[in-house]
Each structure stands twice: as C-alpha cells, then as structure tokens.
Structure 1
Amino acid sequence: MARLGVDIGGTFTDVVLECGADRTSAKVLTTHGAPEDAIVEGMSRVCQAAGVAPDQIAQIIHGTTLATNALIERRGAKTALITTRGFRDVIEMRTESRFEQYDLNLVLPDPLLPRNRRHVVAERIDARGEVLVPLDRAEVEALVDDLAAAGYESVAVGLLHAYANDAHERLIAKVLAERMPGAMVSLSSQVSPQMREYERFNTTIANAYIKPLMASYLGRLKDRLATEGAACPVYLMHSGGGIMALEAAAEFPVRLVESGPAGGAIFAADLAARHGLDKVLSFDMGGTTAKICLIRAQTPKTARVFEVARSYRFKKGSGMPISIPVIDMVEIGAGGGSLARVDAMNQIRVGPESAGSEPGPACYGRGGDKPAVTDADLVLGKLDPEDFAGGSIPLYPDKARTALGTAIGEILEMDPQEAAFGLAEVVDETMANAARVHAVENGEDLGDYTMIAFGGAAPLHAARLCEKLGLDRCLVPRGAGVGSAIGFLRAPFSFEATRSVFTAMDAFDPAAVRSLFAEMEQEATGFVRACDAEAEVTAEHRLYMRYAGQGWEIPIDLTPAQAAAPEAGQILALFEAEYEKLFGRTVAGLRAEITVWSVKAATRQARPAPVERVADGPEPAASGTRDLFDPARGAVLSAAVLRRTGLAPGSTLAGPALITEQETTVVVPASRRARALGDGTIEVVAQGNAS
C-alpha cells in the first residue's frame, strides 16, 4: 500500500512516499501563498521517481505549520469572544507573572483579541457545576444579533467553569446556529475542557481564530489532491503525536499547532525502539527552528500546556498558552534559515527571525542579503554548493561570504570564516543550553543519553552538540532530512480526551471514577474509529495530581487494571513515588488532589523489529576530500567525502569526514568516528568508544 507523508515547514516542504519497503523522498521550497502547490510538486517528484501513479496512493498523512504561522502573524479570521460578565479581560490580564523579572520596560504580548471583540453575558456556574446565575436566552439572542451585524466570521465561547457544566455554552451555540448560521463556533467545553480559565479561554480563542483559515485550506488541499489523481483519505498529524481525520482537524485546528515537530518525535521514538534505547535526546533542526525532546522507554514526554508565538527571545511565559495534549519539547529559533546580527553589546545573535524560503539565506541567491546559519555552514565546508537538496538548489559561497562579512565581519573585525565560526558556535551553544535546561527541568541527567538527529540541518550540527553536552553517541537515521514526514507514517490514529473534575483523595469515589473513564474512553475511541473502524484500539489512562495548595500538577499513568478497578490507596502510592522521583521527597501531612483526568485512545501499533548487530567492516573509500572547519580544534582540516548510499553495514571511518545524501550531510569531526548500522543508520561516537 502506497502512503504519502507531507510536512510543511517554514523553509521546506518534505514529501515521503512509502510503498512496501521502498521509500522515496523530496524536499521542495515551501510556497507560503498557496502551501498546496509545494505539496503537489513534491508528490509529483516522488511519484515519478518511484514509478507510482497518484491514484495508487492509499493514504496521505499531513502536518503543517499553517496554524502556528497564522497565530504568530495574527492572520486569523474576524473573531469574537463570548464570556461570563466580569471575566472579559482574563486573556489580557494573563497570570500576572513577569517572565523577565529584571526588565523594567517589560511589555506583555497583546491578546489575540482586542477588548472591543470580547463580549459578556450575565451567567455563573460554580466549580462544582451548579448554576448560580441562570443564562437568559433573550440576552444571548440580542448579543448574537449584534455580532451578526458586525460581520464576525468565527465565535469563541468561553464561560467560567464550563468544563464542569457545559449547559450554558451549549445554549449559546444553539442560538448562534439559529441566528448566525454562517459563523464558525468553538466551545471551550469541547476544545479544552480543563480548569484554569486563562489557558482555556486562550485555547478556545486560538481555535476559533484559525478555524475558517484551516477549514478553507484543508478543503482546498483535498480538492487539489483529488484533481491531481490522489483522491484518497487525507489525515492530519496532531500535536499529541497521533493522526486524526481531516474533519476532526477542521473542527479542532488548534490541535495541529505542533503537528510537524510531533511527527519528528514519533520518528525518533520509532528508531529508539528499533535500537533498544530507553534514554534518547531527540534533536530536530530544520530550516526555521530546532526542537529538542526527551524520550524515555521509547515514548516521547507529553504535556497539557505549551506556548506559541513567544515574543521575548523565546522566554517561557512570553507566549500564548495553548491547553491541549502535546508532545513536550523545547523549541529554539535556530534553524538553517535563522538570521544573524550583531547587537549593541557587540555580541553575535542568531534568530528567532528566519529567512524562510522567500528569499532564503543569502547563499540561495534569491535576493536575501542577511547571513543565516546555512551561510555559515557553507563557508565552514559542511555543505557542497553543487549538491545541496540533491542538486535542486544551487548555493553561492561568494554571496554567503559577502553577507557574513557585511553583517558580522566588518563590525567585529573578522574575516568571513571567523564570522561563520562565531555564528555557528552561538547557534550550537544556544541549542546545547536549551537541552541542558530542558533536562534539568525534567529531572534528567543527559550523560547516558543517546542523541537521535534528523531534519535537514541537524546532522550538520549534531556532533558538535554532542561535544558540548558530553554525549558519546549520536544516531542519524536513513531519511534524516525528512524525518518528520517519515514520522507521520509511523504514528497511530489517536485522540486524547481530557476532563477537569476536582477530586480530593480523601473523597475518592471508585464508581464515579469508572463512569468518568468510560465516558472519556467512548469519546476518544469515537474519534479514532472515524479514521479506522476495523483496527484494534487501546486506551491509556492518566491523572494529573498535586498536593493541596500547589499551583501545578504532575502526570500519573495508570495500567489498564488500575483504571478498571481504581483504588485510592494505590493511586496515592503512585503519586508519592512519582513526586519523590521528581522532587526528592514527599510532603507529609498535605492532602493529595486530582485535577485533570485523561484517556488517550490509539490504534495498536506493531512493535518494530529490532536491528541486528553487524560486524565491523573495512573503511570505505572516499570519493574525494573537502576543507572542513572543526570548531573543537579551531582549524580547517581535510575531510573525506563519502556518499551515504555507498556505505555497507559495518563500514567504519574516523573523522574528520562528511557523509552526504540527498537531503542532508552528516558531519563527523576529528573527535568522532562513524559506523553504518544494519538498518542504514549512521552511528557517530567519540573516538575510542565502542558502540
């Protein structure tokens, strides 16, 4: 069965066609005005190369940055918010925390909707779901008539404590359907039925804001693909690491915000399972951003809240909180297209601004005149100007040197190579520091982790990151340059249902818990069955718990047996064990509480076959040499150049070396050696270490 994976990034659109054991891939510059154009071009390329007609494709799995970009660039629909009287300004007041406490001129990001687009109704439901102030239908009708007259395209409804009782939100939705039938509606009780009104309201508004745009795009995409002959089902990768139906994606587009990076994490987890790795640092570096994710026991770490559109150098707290199930990762504005500059302190700064695909880095020769990471990589010898992206995109070293010299060299009195070295070191140290902080925040020591590097730019920088982080081993899988798109083809159909039902452990009711789990499992399974009615579906149960008085919760996973027969004592023991693991001790005398319940339904995936170990082979013959700047040595070295396709399993070579392929290049510095494993993965380890 032929399947197509498509990942739209800020710079490149990656397309992967799998037909049995055969895989064909292509990288195409993203067409921001009409993203479907790049998809069609990429599909045409891989189908032609594989000898497969578009009408032979049985499934298309798609991930996109369109939703994220619309939020960042504020390009959504004309949207209104209907909320409880007295809570109109929740999204502007935020949490009242200072994400940069020493900045006296701190400016908080503007809310997604200005105050004149936020409207209120008189109603009130308490935290137990009991009605304190009934909702007057006549008041709702009058408000909806005003919204219709104002020409709103989309309406977000977020009422206080609607997660506990959604009756008032459903009444407003009914009136909207009757009096504004053309408007799209998003209810907080459906989009994010969780406590904490700021995050819930913001998530619902974000969903409403991008809903018309995404519905239009997904409709156009399906029609365009059908016109090209691929009239097969189209599925979307969601932020939680699974696949959902196109119709569900159009209804809840906010779940697509981190779809591309989620595919990369699934790709890394699949490789970890094949190689029997329990501790993995996933490193995904593309054209616009770099993403780092911790993977334990072949499962990416997940979270309930993440931020998009951070406005203050990617500082936590400076962005827009989105409260949905998501793979937990740290994202840095450091991709191949990230632009460099010299700040007022004469320090080199890189990102978060990116050259993207239009015009792209200076070396693309498409009009860009500012130096990007790709320009530095080219000048340092990591890239072949005549074989970039399989030769489809010529690079111009002279333009890269000119941009580096103008923006950095002339200011800091450096030649272009020194400027490129400084730029690359800033980028690598930024990513290494982000990995350190992410590990510390999760109570992990990276010393015994293995890095898995993928994305077009990651294999160029992975070995240097390993040097900085003290990691001995890095794996660069086959298809690393299009890893996220391959990850889409490895992901299960899945959906996660959540509920906020506050439960103190001294008032734990097993019967009520079983009923709640059954209701959530039915909801989650329904979304999965809409994608595949015949597949075996499994359910994972999770609780979020804290001590009374604490402001945040930790996740507690239950086995199927524990979820089927929940016991307060057993759950409390699980919580205390996990709490002690994270914080070193429990807190005696404090009551434990459950705030959020979660059930994730997913199709059962076959466990990947383990990779067989192969004996070391002879060092392969190089096709040539190239000057490569080694930052650890601070010198230019002569590096052997080899094609990845020419490496037989077991082939071993010492650095410095460059292993080239169509979508990327694996840089092996002098401190490392490389070895081809049985599945074609390149293992890069410290010299003298056994794999």
Structure 2
Amino acid sequence: MARIGVDVGGTFTDLVLEAEDKNGEGKAVFLHKVASTPADQSEGVLKGVLEICNIAGISPSDVRMIVHGTTVATNITIEHNGAEVGMLTTRGFRDILHIGRHKRPHNFSLQFDVPWQSKPLVKRRNRIPITERLLPPSGTIDQALDENEVRAAAECLKSRGIYSVIICFMYSFLNDAHEQRAKAIVREVMPDAYVSCSSEIANVMREYERFSTTAMNAFVGPKTSHYLRNLERKLGSAGLSPHLRIMQSNGGVSTVDKCSREAVTILMSGLAGGVMGGRWLGEISDTPNIITVDIGGTSADFSTIPDGQVKVMNPRDTYVGAYPVLSPMIDVVTMGAGGGSIAYIDEGGAFRVGPRSAGAAPGPACYGRGGTEPTVTDAQVVLGRLDPDHFLGGDLAIDAELARQAIRTHISEPLNITVEQAALGIIRILNSNMSLTIRANSVAKGYDPREFSLAAYGGAGPLNGVALAEAVSAKEVLVPPAPGITAAIGLLETDMQYEFARSVLLVLKNVQQASLDRVNCAIDELTRFCQDSLQADGVPADKQSYQRIAECRYHGQGFELRADIPDGPLTLENLDAVKQNFHEQHRRDYGWAFSDVDVEIVTVRIVGTAKTPRLRWPDIEVATTSDISPALMYERPTTFDDGKTYATPRYARPRLKSGHEVAGPAILIQHDSTTLVPPGYVARVGISGTLKINRITA
C-alpha cells in the first residue's frame, strides 16, 4: 500500500510518496516536483503522481490514498471569476450583503473601494426576497414560507442562466425548516443547480457573515467541485483508484464529496498544508515553538505554532479578500513574496518587489521561457546564490545572463546602480516586507520570537531563513530535510476532520440546569453529525475522537474566543471549567482577563477527528568523523546580505551525515531547494537530516 501527498503551488507541484519498503523492513519515502499547470491543476497533479509512482517502482494501482492541497478555490477569489450566484432571502433583508457592517476599509481615505459593494458576490438583481419569518430566540415560525414565491424565484434565476443558488433566511440557525423546504423546491425547478443553504454552510448567528460565507461557497463552489471531480475521474482513467482526500482550511482533511458541497472550507487548503508541515518539522526536531516561513514561487506564508499547537483564527479575522467567511481557518497569513515575485520601479520612482509574480509561465527571466521582468530568483542567480548548472538538481536549465539583463534593464539602469547592488536591493526589500508580516503574526499577537525557532522551507525559504531570523530576532533557523516538499509532507501528517457548529446564546451567570441541558442537546446532536460523517468514511468508532468547544465572550463583547468543554454533560458543577478555559484563552490572546465579568456562550462547535498514520521519515547515517570534504562540490563567488562577496564552497546536502557541522559562508545544494549559511553562522545536521543554523559564538 502507498499513499501520496500532493501540494499545488503557483510554480511547482510537490509530491511525497510513502510505500512499503521492498525489503519488507518498514516504509520508504520518495519525493518529486513537477511544474504546476495553472490552466488546469489536475494535469500537473496527474503527471506528478504517475512520475513519482515510477520513481518508487510501484504500480499506480498500489496507491491507496492521495491527500491533496489545492489553490483552486483561493485562485477563484483572487481572480474574482467565480459563478454567477442567485440568492433567496427573507423579505426586507435583500441588501444585507450590500450594507455589510459599515466598516470602512481605510478610515481616512476619501476614495476607498468597498469590495463587497463594487464586486458583490451576488448582484442585487439576483437577490430575490421571499415571504417567510422566524422569531428568536426559539426559531418559532411567525410567517409560513411562501412556496409559490420560492418556485417563481427559481424559475426566474433559471431563465437568467444562473445555476448557483444560495438560500439565506433570517434566524435559520435556530430553525432550518424553511431553508430546507426552499432548497427542495429549487432542486425541483433546477435539478442540476449548485444549491447552498446558510444553515448548512455556517449554522451560526450574525446574518451578514453567515450570508457572506454562504455566498462565497456558491461563488467558488461550481468550479471547485468540477475540478475535484474531474481530478477524481482522471486518476481513475490512469489506473488509480485511491481514497482522494482534500486539505481543509482548518488543518484537517476531508472527502471530495464534502469539499465539493462546502467548497468554502478549502479556501486556505494550499496554505494549511504548509503549516502542518511546519508542525511536523517541529516534532522531528524536538522544537515545540515554531514560526513557519513557507516561501514558494509565488507567495510566502507565515504562521506561529506555540508549544506544537496549530492556532485557529478568531471568527472576526476570517476574511478572504474583503469578504467575511465564517469557516474555521488555521492562523496563517500570506503575501505576494516568492521566487517569482517581480521587482519594478513604480510610477513614483520607488523600488518595489511583488506582489505580482512571474508564476510558472513564463517564470523568471533566467528560465528562458519568455519572461523579461526581473524576479527574486533572478536576483539570487546574479548574487551567485543559485548556480545555473545545479538548479533543481540540474533538471531546469537557467541562464544567468538573462537574469542580469532583466535586472539591468528594469532596475539597475533606471536607478543608476550596479546590477549586483540592484539584485541585493531586491533581496533586502523582500526580506523587509516579510519580516514585518512575521512580526504581525507573532509579536502583535503576544508571542516573543526570541523564544521561537524560524522554520524556513518551500523552494525559496532556506535562502532567506537566516536573514529573516535576524530581522525578527528568532533564536535559530530550522531547515527540514526536504524544504521544497515540506507542504506536501504536511498533507500526510494531517488527520481527517469534520466540524459542526450551532449558535446557542447563553449567559452563564445564575444559569439554571434546564438552560445547560439545551446546550447539552446541541452538543449531542453535533457529535452525532460528526460521528455519522466519520462512519460514512469507514472510520471505526475506536479511531474517532472528539473535541468539544464553546465559543465564548464577555457579555457585551463583539466576538468570541474558543474554550474547551470538559468531558460529559455540562452541569452546574463543571461549568466553571468552561469559564476558566475562556479566561485563560483571553489572557493568552490579549494579555488580560476579567474574572469577575459575566461570560456568555455564543456557539458550540464539535470537531470530529480520525487519526491518520504518521509519516515515518527515515533517519540518516550518523557521522563517524567531522570531515565534510566528501560532500564538497566546488567553490564559487557569492554575495551575501552584508554586500561582501566570498569564495563560497558548495556542499551536496544529501552527502552530509548526522552530526556534521558546516560553517559559513557555505551553500548546501539539494534537488528541491538551496540553503544559504552566511558568514558567522554554522549549520548542524540532525538525525532526521534537519539543519539547525545558529550564530557562531566565541
């Protein structure tokens, strides 16, 4: 049996395969990388899967599971080319998606854009009011659903050629009967339509956020569903019949069926795999506090993992673009800063890098595929940090002169500086931009980078790791054994996961057991939903585990924080545990807590998990001597961040053994990445092949 992790990036598609060792002595791990195919990601995925099977010497039919991290849904939101969406909503509330919360994106700008108005997910003419009314707090029916209006609305949307429909009624999180009936009618009229109910996508309070989340699901859903099912078909046609699992934004994996219906849950699929890879690196390095820096060809992603615990964003922060999305997401931030990021002089004469990228096609100028604008990769080539004859292990030929020409034409000559100065400027600007983002995800959230190791991976991460660690004062740099494949490795380290939530507003001061029983009923029902989903995927009961979460706030606050619910039913005796868990979380997030202020439960969330086998990464050979000369390849001049050029030895990283030390200046070359060890630093090789880079102390 074999399983594969496939992570699609903007430039490359990364793969890792774990299979039974042919000698029957455990597991063997194989790595591979192919060019991404932005027009249809499934082509690159299928090509990579077949090639890695060939590398491993196995038949495609031996693959039993493929875990896939994809940017399809993310790209739809970035390019704003999703489906035309129709909406059925409670009469009188047609304009909630337009009004939003009257937050100004830029408080002091007179010309600011309001994306949810200028680029609405649902155009006003396609938002059709329906007569119906539910009453809080119980969800009792005050006015029955007018089924004739629903049918007429469906006919109208059908006549307009709209086949992605959302049904968003007020207070449907208290009672979903009207939404479910309206959905049934829409399906009668439009049997092939992609229909989403707000009570299915975001069954929680806050009508604007709930409606926006449902609209986003319908906006990205049809194309995402088509991609996932098309990939499933292509795999089958190529002789593969694996369980295809998709990485979700919350750090768990789920089925094609679930992710097709709830496409909003995989908006951060590609980013989440990288964070899980960072957690894996921390585990194999015995380093619990990690700041992840995943730099690929198009973007850079950052996350802070304290004590080995992946953080989930607060609901108030879960935005995709400018649209609120109430879907659990790993706390990760991304920016347009990768190897393909384009350097340019803007209209005001300022020297800038990114966020625009050369991507996979045409790619950096040095690729010789028609790109003429200078990129970060071109700058690394000019500085001698990437060797043309060993880029991607020699699989990709690059032309250093094309890199110099692009930088000279677009940066060096306009600024009247040398090509080398311009190249160094590109790297410094890039690192400055990234360090600010890292601080926003760590220092600004109460975490001291001096207590964290900076994990640098992605194809370009190890080139920038030390500079970024210096900029944010991280204590050391960790480089995984396969930096360019780490996000794919993270996919195989991820558990299957389902989440269900329900709003149950309850102030805990002087609460009675009868009110707590209402919460217990919600917990039991949501747990059954998780259980049914896991059982449908063939997960036996003894492999299932559940996390019970109360999303709480101080009475009168605007947003909630997560607090664990103790095992067993909620009672007056164990209720204090929920309060204390909330106070502790509030103190971690904000630095303070009010132990004497009323606590309110807003939402109950159940997370059902099925553990997957962990990837068995092989140990490397232990060195019997400190001599690293067998790994030495050659020396070439290289310019470092201090602006000085040194004769810098190149070492083949796969030839280094556990216990070896490489003092800078040095460059460690491997197929999927290149690691830069500046002067004054030393890289130490661990038993797993991981590098720890520290400043040399006297």
Q: TM-score range by the shorter chain?
A: over 0.9
Once residues 4 and 408 of structure 1 are traced to their aligned partners in structure 2, the CA distance between those partners, rounded to angstroms, is: 42
Q: Deviations over 1:466-499 (max 9, x none)?
A: 1111122111111210111111111111111121
The CA distance in 2 between the partners of 1:550 and 1:582, in whole Å, is 14
Find the counterpart in structure 2 of residue 296 from structure 1. Answer: 306
Q: 2:578 aligns with which of 571, 578, 589?
A: 571
* Counterpart Cα distance in 2 of 1:519 and 1:464: 51
2:140 corresponds in structure 1 to 130
Q: 3-state DSSP class of the match of 2:546? A: strand
Equivalent residue, structure 1, for 2:18:
18
Moved more, 492-501 or 502-511: 502-511
Q: Is the 8 A contact 2:85 2:123 kept in 1?
A: no
Distance 1:399 1:530 in 2: 55
Say yes or no: does 1:111 pair with 2:115.
Answer: no
Q: Is the contact made by 1:273 and 1:608 (CA closer than 8 Å) also made in structure 2?
A: no
Q: Alpha carbons of 1:136 and 1:297: their partners in 2 closer, same or farther (altered >3 Å)? A: same
> Following the alignment from structure 1 to structure 2, what is the Cα–Cα distance between the partners of residues 64 and 406?
36
Which residue in the other structure is 2:96 paired with? 90
Counterpart residue type for residue 415 of structure 2? L
* 2:537 aligned partner, one-letter code: C
Cα distance, 1:155 vs structure 2: 0.4
Q: Does 1:618 align with 2:626?
A: yes
Aligned to 2:640: 630
C-alpha spacing 1:201/1:617, structure 2 compared with 1 (3 Å): farther
- Report the AA paired with residue 282 of structure 1: T
Q: Please show how residues 373-392 of structure 1 align to structure 2 within 5 Å.
A: 373-392=376-395
SS of the residue corresponding to residue 492 of structure 2 reads helix
Give the aligned partner of residue 654 of structure 1: 663
Q: What does the per-residue CA deviation read over 1:370-400, in whole Å, with 9 as the maximum and x for residues that have no partner?
A: 1121111221222121222232221121111
CA deviations over 1:481-524 (Å, ceiling 9, x no partner): 01111111111111111212211112363322222211111212
Once the two structures are TM-superposed, the CA of residue 664 in structure 1 deviates from its matched residue by: 0.5
Q: Do 1:617 and 1:649's aligned partners in 2 also have CA atoms closer than 8 Å?
A: no
Task: Give the letter for the 1:194 counterpart.
Answer: V
Match of 1:316 in 2: none
Whether 1:558 and 2:568 are equivalent positions in the alignment is: no
Q: Of the candidates 216, 220, 239, which is equivalent to residue 210 of structure 1?
A: 220
Residue in structure 1 matched with residue 690 of structure 2 by the alignment: 681
Shift of 1:559: 4.3
Deviation of 1:331 (Å): 0.9
Specify whether residues 456 and 224 from structure 1 end up closer, same or farther in structure 2 by C-alpha distance, changes over 3 A only.
same
Deviation at 1:309, TM superposition (A): 5.5
Corresponding residue for 1:54?
60
Give the Cα separation in 2 of the matches to 1:591 and 1:659.
57
Whether 1:400 and 2:410 are equivalent positions in the alignment is no
**Which SS does the other structure have where 2:325 is aligned?**
strand
The corresponding residue for 2:24 is none
Amino acid at match of 2:403: A
- Read off the aligned partner of 2:5 and give its amino acid letter: G
Q: Residue 110 of structure 2 aligns to which amino acid in structure 1?
A: L
Larger mean Cα displacement after TM superposition, 609-618 or 563-572: 609-618
Q: Distance in 2 between matches of 1:563 and 1:239?
A: 29
TM-aligned CA deviation for residue 643 of structure 1: 0.8
Q: SS of the residue aligned with 1:666? A: strand
Partner amino acid for 2:395? S
Alignment of 1:17-416 (within 5 A): 17-20=17-20, 21-109=27-115, 110-128=119-137, 129-303=139-313, 305=315, 310=321, 319-416=322-419
**Residue 329 of structure 1: how far off its partner (Å):** 0.8
- Closer, same or farther: CA 354–301 of 1 in aligned 2, 3 Å: same
| Equivalent position SS for 1:326 | coil
C-alpha distance in 2 between matches for 1:336 and 1:144: 47
- Inter-CA distance 672–345: structure 2 relative to 1 (3 Å threshold): farther
SS at match of 2:518: helix
In structure 1, C-alpha distance between the alignment counterparts of 2:595 and 2:580, rounded to whole Å: 13
The reply on whether 1:3 has 2:24 as its aligned counterpart is no
- Whichever residue aligns with residue 93 of structure 2, its letter is F
Report the secondary structure of 1:539's partner residue: strand
Query: Using the alignment, how far apart are the partners of 2:503 and 2:339 within structure 1?
Result: 41
Partner of 1:431: 434
Distance 2:573 2:464 in 1: 47
SS at match of 1:501: strand
SS in 2 for 1:327: coil
Q: Does the 8 Å contact 1:282/1:293 carry over to 2?
A: yes
Question: What letter corresponds to residue 443 of structure 2 in structure 1?
Answer: V
Q: Deviations over 1:523-566 (max 9, x none)?
A: 12322333342360111112221112211122212343686997
Match of 1:591? 598
Moved more, 503-512 or 390-399: 503-512
Alignment partners' CA distance in 2, 1:615 and 1:177: 66
| Paired letter, 1:285 | I
Shift of 1:242: 1.2
1:287-331 Cα offsets, whole Å, 9 max, x none, are 111111111221210125455663xxxxxxxx2222111111111
568-577 vs 150-159, which moves further:
568-577
Give yes or no for the alignment of 1:543 onto 2:550.
yes
Residue type matched to 2:204 in 1? Q
Q: Report the secondary structure of 1:42's partner residue.
A: helix
- Structure 2 length as normaliser, TM-score? 0.93
Alignment deviations for residues 452-479 of structure 1 (CA, whole Å, 9 cap, x no partner): 2221111111111011111221111112
Deviations 1:627-661 (A, max 9, x none): 22211x22112221011110010000111111111
The corresponding residue for 1:448 is 451
Report the CA distance shift for 1:599/1:522 in structure 2 as closer, same or farther (over 3 A): same
State the Cα deviation string for residues 190-237 of structure 1 (Å, max 9, x = none).
Answer: 111122222221211111122221222222211211121112221111
Q: Is the 1:281–1:450 Cα contact (8 Å) retained in structure 2?
A: yes
Amino acid at match of 1:638: A
What whole-Å deviation, never above 9, does each CA across 1:639-689 have from its counterpart, x for those lacking one? 210111100100001111111111111111113210110011111112129
Deviations 1:418-461 (A, max 9, x none): 11111111111111111111113321111110112221111111
| Distance change in 2, residues 1:629/1:178 (3 Å) | same
| Structure 2, gaps ≥5 residues long | 21-26
Deviation at 1:98, TM superposition (A): 2.2
Are the aligned partners of 2:314 and 2:561 in contact in 1 as well (CA < 8 Å)? no
Residue identity in the other structure for 1:180: M
The 8 Å contact of residues 179 and 199 in structure 2, kept in 1 or not, is answered as: yes
Identity of aligned residues (%): 32
- 2 CA distance for matches of 1:404 and 1:338? 13
Letter in 2 for 1:76: G
Distance 1:559 1:416, change over 3 A: farther
For 2:171, the aligned partner's letter is H
The structural deviation recorded for 1:117 is 2.0
Aligned residue identity for 1:39: V
Q: 1:515 to 1:605 in 2, by over 3 A?
A: same
* Cα distance between partner residues in 1 of 2:60 and 2:47: 12
What amino acid is aligned across from residue 167 of structure 1 in structure 2?
A
Answer with 401-410 or 172-181: which moved more: 401-410
Comparing 655-664 with 44-53, greater Cα deviation is found at 44-53
CA distance in 2, matches of 1:559, 1:646: 50
Question: Offset of 1:615 from its aligned partner?
Answer: 8.2
Q: Which moved more, 1:487-496 or 1:503-512?
A: 503-512
1:603 aligns with 2:610: yes
Name the CA distance, whole Å, in 2 between partners of 1:562 and 1:344. 63
Distance in structure 1 (CA, Å) of the matches to 2:570 and 2:360: 48
